[in-house]
Structure 1
Amino acid sequence: MTVIVALLSWFLVGLFIRVSKARGWGQPIRVDGPAHQHKEGTPTAGGVPFVLAMTAVFFPLYLTGHAGGTRELVIMLAALAMGVIGGIDDLLKVRSRMVGGKKELLAREKFPMQIIVALVFAYVAAPLASHELLPGLGFWGDVALLTFVMVGSVNAFNFADGLDGLLGGIAIIVLLPMFALSPAAALLTGALLGFLWFNAHPARVFMGDMGSHAIGAVAAGAYILYADVWLLPIAAIMPVIAVLSVVIQVISFRTRGKRVFKMSPIQHHFEHPDVGWPETHVVMRFWMVTALATAGVWWLLGGRP
């Protein structure tokens, strides 16, 4: 099934690129950001077709009893709900380029929606987890923890995007220990392989928020329900560092008027001219660190998938 979803994703992403170019659904590039102006107009929201590919394969399998039970359905519904939130953001970005208007969801609009989805997920998932998450705090302590983990994961993976192939490669590596345990994780891995065919440097399409939100939800759901919630930040070390770099940058600038990093998230710090890593080097080195961290998680799981 992973091969099938990879081929379907490859087809749908390629079709999406053709339609996007014909309609001018390109990505606007910030003038105050890294030197990516040559990418202006590259189709964005490439997460839409690969999430569709994953969904189109998952539900027939689930309805015929070949895609796991309740845990898998919970993971997929959380991924789709978070994906819709990211998709609204993608739509606003594309629409603003075409006809103007609102450019994206504000944090005060996005976070409440993410929290609602995460709360519903946590309420359903807490009894399904294979171990007690917070000993002594009971059900509602677990719900609070899982809500935080889901929202944190979605935003961490979102902040880890921004370079050609970066997030897709990181996500595949992070999901590998879950590959044989969670059909949703396996299908997302296949969908990402089809997407990376076009997103590898030089990217012909960008992922957008729908894709990154769905990835964060699947990663959180799989680690919570099949492994150990505390292993997720180890495997996803680079997304964690990316979101922490943004938090540190904002706090430092607002309290001291100084920036800690040349730019944030941290991947843009390394490609800043004062640091000088080529984009491909940043991507490869982030993949390597993720691979080492995920290997550690694999070992902590007993060397089994």
Structure 2
Amino acid sequence: MILAALLSWVLVGGFITASRRYGWGQKVRPELPQSHQVKSGTPTAGGVGFVLALLIVWLGYRITGQATDPREVLLLLVALGMGVIGLIDDVLKIVSRQRGGGKKELLAREKFPLQLLVGFAFAYFAAPLASHRLGVDLGQVTETILFTLVMVGSANAFNFTDGIDGQLAAVSIIILLPLVLVSPTAALLIGALLGFLWFNAYPAKVFMGDMGSHAIGGLVAGAYILYADVWALPLAAIIPVAAVLSVVIQVAYFRLTGGKRFFRMTPIHHHFEVGGLPETQIMMRFCIVTAIGTAAAWWLLGGRL
């Protein structure tokens, strides 16, 4: 964890320097709260730095013969697989902004099949290794389908959670903390996120981007499937679940009512921002809710690793 944190700190810092030199700053959407408009030009895709740190330290761990558990290999591969999908999205956005045109991002109909492919590949190999600490075993075929959908849902839910300085990294650390002693890959991600948070804490000097959020979503879901129980994940990841549900509710309500909004703005953290709460307060309260949800999930699991 210490090595991952230090390497992440170095790589993310270097990424910020390169981003400023080459103009990889993010253009803030005009519909976001006014407090976000001053962030225009902030380097984005900083997830590249901490994902690379995770990979390098993990490979070192593997070379020493300590990361031999196949579950750890699956966790790294699903994080990288989802991360690459997010990286494609990040690169398209940056190139489009620099050139003033071209393909702006991956469309949903392009992104979902790729997420399904990565999710299914993970689920196929993870189903026989999955933990069932709550005692619900649906069988390998059913669980392969379930884990695929959970993986896709998690990648998108964690992506929606990334919208306030420091929020996604802090929330993810809390969710993963109970696994720190049983999963080296989860522990390394915590360390890498600590290095990233050094620069991403309010006011952020770098944004995570889709590569980081997708990689986190994949690894968190995978860790709970393999070491805890898939049914404990929605409770521990209550904030990402709330974020994606808020978007679904907003879109459905908008269509059903012919243009009315259920929330002031989505994802849910922007609803509170528009209501007048500062980013730091929202982030801290979301962390508190996550800590309670994670504690409750592990109480249901028996409170033991």
**What are the equivalent positions in structure 2 for 1:56-205 lying under 5 Å apart?**
56-100=56-100, 101-131=102-132, 137-205=138-206
Match of 2:10 in 1: 11
Match of 1:254 in 2: 255
How many equivalent residue pairs?
302
Match of 2:19 in 1: 20
Match of 2:290 in 1: 290
Match of 1:220 in 2: 221
2:33 is aligned with what amino acid?
P
Q: Which runs of 5+ in 2 are unaligned?
A: none
Residue 133 of structure 1 deviates from its aligned partner by 8.8
Residue 64 of structure 1 deviates from its aligned partner by 2.7
How many Å separate the matches in 2 of 1:125 and 1:292? 28
Say which is worse superposed, 288-297 or 18-27, in terms of deviation.
288-297
2:98 is aligned with what amino acid?
M
TM-score (ref. length: structure 1): 0.96
Would you say the 8 A contact 2:133–2:301 is kept in 1? no
How many Å separate the matches in 2 of 1:127 and 1:138? 9
Would you say the 8 A contact 2:16–2:43 is kept in 1? yes
- Over 3 Å counting, the alpha-carbon distance change for 1:102 and 1:133 in structure 2 is farther
How many Å separate the matches in 2 of 1:123 and 1:238? 27
Say which is worse superposed, 107-116 or 292-301, in terms of deviation.
292-301
- Over 3 Å counting, the alpha-carbon distance change for 1:218 and 1:25 in structure 2 is same
How many Å separate the matches in 2 of 1:279 and 1:256? 30
Match of 2:304 in 1: 304
How many Å separate the matches in 2 of 1:68 and 1:31? 48
How many Å separate the matches in 1 of 2:116 and 2:135? 20
Residue 303 of structure 1 deviates from its aligned partner by 2.8
The alignment's C-alpha RMSD in Å is 1.4
Residue 298 of structure 1 deviates from its aligned partner by 2.8
Residue 194 of structure 1 deviates from its aligned partner by 0.1
Question: For 2:303, what is the secondary structure of its paired residue?
Answer: coil
1:198 is aligned with what amino acid?
F
2:62 is aligned with what amino acid?
Y
Would you say the 8 A contact 2:175–2:294 is kept in 1? yes
2:59 is aligned with what amino acid?
F
Would you say the 8 A contact 2:232–2:298 is kept in 1? no
Match of 1:268 in 2: 270
Say which is worse superposed, 133-142 or 159-168, in terms of deviation.
133-142
Question: For 1:39, what is the secondary structure of its paired residue?
Answer: coil
Match of 2:281 in 1: 281
How many Å separate the matches in 2 of 1:190 and 1:144? 31
Percentage of matched positions with identical amino acids = 64
Would you say the 8 A contact 1:62–1:69 is kept in 2? no
Match of 1:30 in 2: 29
Per-residue deviation, residues 11-57 of structure 1 (Å, max 9, x unmatched): 00000000100111100111112221100000000000100000001
How many Å separate the matches in 1 of 2:174 and 2:296? 12
Residue 204 of structure 1 deviates from its aligned partner by 0.1
Per-residue deviation, residues 79-110 of structure 1 (Å, max 9, x unmatched): 10000000001101111111122211111110
Would you say the 8 A contact 1:198–1:204 is kept in 2? yes
Per-residue deviation, residues 179-204 of structure 1 (Å, max 9, x unmatched): 11111100000000000000000000
Say which is worse superposed, 64-73 or 37-46, in terms of deviation.
64-73
Is residue 234 of structure 2 the alignment partner of residue 241 of structure 1? no
Would you say the 8 A contact 1:134–1:142 is kept in 2? no
Match of 1:211 in 2: 212
Would you say the 8 A contact 2:235–2:297 is kept in 1? yes
Residue 301 of structure 1 deviates from its aligned partner by 3.1
Q: Which runs of 5+ in 1 are unaligned?
A: none
TM-score (ref. length: structure 2): 0.96
Would you say the 8 A contact 2:171–2:286 is kept in 1? yes
How many Å separate the matches in 1 of 2:166 and 2:155? 18
How many Å separate the matches in 1 of 2:42 and 2:241? 27
Question: For 1:302, what is the secondary structure of its paired residue?
Answer: coil
Say which is worse superposed, 193-202 or 88-97, in terms of deviation.
88-97
Question: For 1:201, what is the secondary structure of its paired residue?
Answer: coil
